Amino acid sequence: MIQIKMTPLDLLDDIYSLAFWMTGNEKVSNELVSNTYLNTDFEAPEAEVLKTFRECYIDRFGQAADLGMHEATGSCGKGLIDSLRQWAADIKLSVLLSEISGLKHRQISDIVGAPVETIRLWLFWGRKFLVNDSFLKASA
């Protein structure tokens, strides 16, 4: 099977689509795409560009995702809330990488930094949650 290597410029449409689905805002999506390409080498492989996108998203929005939960009182609850927000953002990104970019489970695993089995679970549940639009409102 022939595998076509995509340059960062070839990924521009996919990156913008990911950004828009993750943020739900055109202006913010443009900023996220710009930050991604400012931090990406022009010769970087596809996986590195997507990892950079994930890092830029997490730096800017990953800890501000709306899960429909109120901040817990006390320092103990704050760490848990932040972890759940990160988890929700990674699940949503995994589903979008699969559906928009057409990446395989192993590729998504490399980008997100989770085991393949975890990615499979995230894709199964993430698709259900996104259809119901109840839990994974990880938009900035």
Residue 111's pLDDT is what? 92
Residue 134's pLDDT is what? 47
Domain residue ranges of the chain, discontinuous segments joined by +: 12-132
Sign of CA dihedral 109, 115, 113, 42: negative
> Which residue would you say has higher pLDDT here, 93 or 134?
93
Percent of the chain predicted with pLDDT > 70: 79
CATH architecture of 12-132: Up-down Bundle (1.20)
- pTM for the model: 0.73
Tell me the C-alpha to C-alpha distance, in Å, between residue 92 and each of 13, 19, 33, 54, 80.
18, 11, 17, 11, 18
- In angstroms, rounded to a whole number, what is the distance separating the alpha carbons of residues 41 and 35? 12
Residue 11's pLDDT is what? 83
pLDDT per position as a tens digit, 48-95: 999 999 989 988 876 444 444 555 445 556 677 777 778 888 898 999
DSSP 6: P
